[in-house]
Amino acid sequence: MLVSALPSLLLLLLLSFTVRTWTSRPARVYLSYKELMESRTARFFSFGFNTSDYRILFLDQDQDRMYVGSRDYLVSMDLGNINREPLIIHWPAAPSRQKECLMAGRGRADECANYLRVIQPLNRTHLYACGTGAYQPQCTLIYRGWRSEDYVFRIISGSHESGKGRCPYDPKQENMATIIDGVLYAGVQVDYMGTDSAVFRTMGHKLPIRTEQYDSRWLNDPVFVGSLVVSESSFKEDDKLYILFRERSLEGESGPAMVSRIARICLNDEGGMRSLVGKWTSFLKARLVCSVIGPDGVETSFDQLRDIFIQQTQDKQNPLIYGVFTTLGSVFRGSAVCVFSLADVRAVFNGPFAHKEGHGYQMTAYTGKTPYPRPGACAGGFSVTGIHSSKLFGEDVLRFVRTHPLMYTSVYPLNRRPLLLLSDASYTYTSIAVDTVPAADGEYTVLFLGTDRGTVQKVMILPKGPEETEGITLEEVEVFKVSAPHPPTSPYFLLLNVTGVGFHLN
């Protein structure tokens, strides 16, 4: 069989979008794959990896590289020169492990392989990578050289270790992972059966810390989407990790069956002393709402967070979070882009906690006495200078944290409405990147949206009165050679010409 004939080709495209004048409404341009290639602004990549499972795992700003994970392969691509041949690491699961996996009855859906799901810089010269390892997650060190000119990418032999709590077992499960100061934070299913989901911290000198096990109040079948680190005050102790995911809603919580969430933890959390030992003492979460009120007053909510993009602003403490959301039901198919300000997120975490009197009760706002330090505050931080470790938190604090991880109010997007709405379409948005374009009268926001029909749309956001905006789809580009419907699990990749419109992949 010809490798190129396999329905498993990865496409990475380099596009240079031309800047048009925005004064008049530009005509919408649709570029077919063929036209795109003829425009000579894209490069087609095809790897004979015999899989359609490809994902961008990390954009390496230091060395101007992009790392792509696949089944048994890791690819390093040069963002500075797309014509340079990528560097490839072949890292399959051990044959004995594959055999065990097949015998355990997995493998029906091609799962007994090493699906690469994590790659993060550890320090200047080394990367840390993890894969599913045929249902036995494994991690390894990778050497990437000192400078981008070195152009190296190889596994450090003998550095393999278990990836439990760092990488999922099941390639179908979505995960989140980030290394901060040599410590890995992962949103992951920790066990073989996929029933124990956690936000897990491992590696480095610190002891492992995780979310409470099998407690649906903390996590309820989560699907992790992404994360961001924020310095919240002039105190380093206040540094927090925000984690975005969707999960089943809790008993007693009003609203839909599935909800989108933002959770946060203090990076310096050391767990409790007598209770919550080895567990986060700072874990809190809130609901993210992305909805529209129709002319008839009926609210349509987009409850499935699919992808995020973090946009830094002048104010380092207040980045914007762009989220792509889709609807849950099959009745109405739609997607929306909502933008959240971290200031609004913070206000919700400073607000009332959700409280449930007991089984069968509705959630209400907690009105009793809140212990000190306020749950969610970081030890040694701005508001808790006197207590230097979470191990010194009182039992009343820990008891409260354990039973009240959810905030009562939800986080609403800027202007309380989506920035962009897609309804009555035969496709949905699946991924997002955001750029701002300078113009004569200020800056415009440009969204690049991946769709589940294998295209990327470039949408310009224009003001349309106070607090109202309008999205104009300037271009839509087919980025796959074969425009057959692609499985939703295989995201669409597009690498844009960084120098063109000033599109930053970060």
- Applying CB under 6 A, which residues contact ligand NAG? 1, 14, 16, 41, 50, 82, 110, 122-126, 141, 497, 499-500
Q: Closer to ligand NAG by CB, 158 or 386: give it.
A: 158
Beta carbon nearer to ligand NAG, 85 or 296: 85
Of 128 and 325, the one with the shorter C-beta distance to ligand NAG is 128
Work out how close the CB of 255 gets to ligand NAG at its nearest, in angstroms, rounded to a whole number. Answer: 41
Residue 390: other Cβ atoms inside 10 A: 28
Smallest distance from ligand NAG to CB 35, Å: 15
Closest CB to ligand NAG among 83 and 234? 83
Of 49 and 340, nearer to ligand NAG (C-beta) is 49
How many helices and strands in the chain, by DSSP H and E? 4, 32
Residue 298 has phi, psi (to 5 degrees) of -85, 130
Is residue 367 packed enough to be buried (19+ CB in 10 Å), middle (13-18) or exposed (0-12)?
A: exposed
Q: Choose between 36 and 432: whose C-beta lies nearer to ligand NAG.
A: 36
CB of 189 to ligand NAG, least distance (A): 23
Provide the 8-state DSSP code for 415. Answer: G
* C-beta of 76 vs 428, nearer to ligand NAG: 76
Q: What is the smallest separation between the CB atom of 58 and ligand NAG, expressed in angstroms?
A: 16
Q: How far is the CB of 133 from ligand NAG (least distance, A)?
A: 16
Beta bridge partners of 495: 14
Burial letters 203-229, b for 16+ CB under 10 A, else e: beebeebbbbeeeebbbbebbbbbbbe
Q: How far is the CB of 19 from ligand NAG (least distance, A)?
A: 9
Nearest approach, Cβ of residue 69 and ligand NAG (Å):
17
CA distances from 335 to 214, 305, 332 (A): 32, 10, 10
Which stretches does DSSP call E strand in 203-360?
209-210, 223-230, 240-248, 258-266, 284-288, 291-293, 299-301, 304-311, 320-326, 334-341, 354-355
Of 400, 281, 304, 291, the C-alpha closest to 352 is 400
